[in-house]
Amino acid sequence: MPKRSPKAGNGQREVVEVPTPRPQGVDEHGAFAFASCPVCGWRGPGRRSRERARKDLTHHLAAEDGHPAEVTDALN
């Protein structure tokens, strides 16, 4: 939700977008979070829980042999 500053001037309010930090490997589209692998491009199912999307990515990286350990460690 955009943050609004107190009244500025003639009754109009200035709307300021505040970026929210995103966890590495999790994309959000509307109310859903999707895990996405930075190595192979795999994309998990839409989840309402960001934590569940992160677990999907962790399980994907653990199951794949072609992913370097540095990537797995960087995402945790």
pLDDT in tens, 8-64: 555 667 776 655 545 568 889 899 999 998 888 889 999 999 999 999 988 888 886
Question: Would you say residue 34 lies in a domain?
Answer: yes
Sequence-distant (6+) residues with CB within 8 A of 67 are: 37, 39, 40, 61
How many domains are contained in the chain? 1
Question: Would you say residue 35 lies in a domain?
Answer: yes
Question: Would you say residue 49 lies in a domain?
Answer: yes
User: Whole-angstrom Cα distance, residue 12 to residue 37?
Assistant: 43
Annotate 10-65 with DSSP letters as a single string: TTB--EE--PPP--TTEEEETTEEEEB-TTT--B---BS-HHHHHHHHHHHHHH-S
Q: Using the 8-state DSSP alphabet, how is residue 5 labeled?
A: P
pTM > 0.75: no
* Residue 33 belongs to domain spanning: 24-75
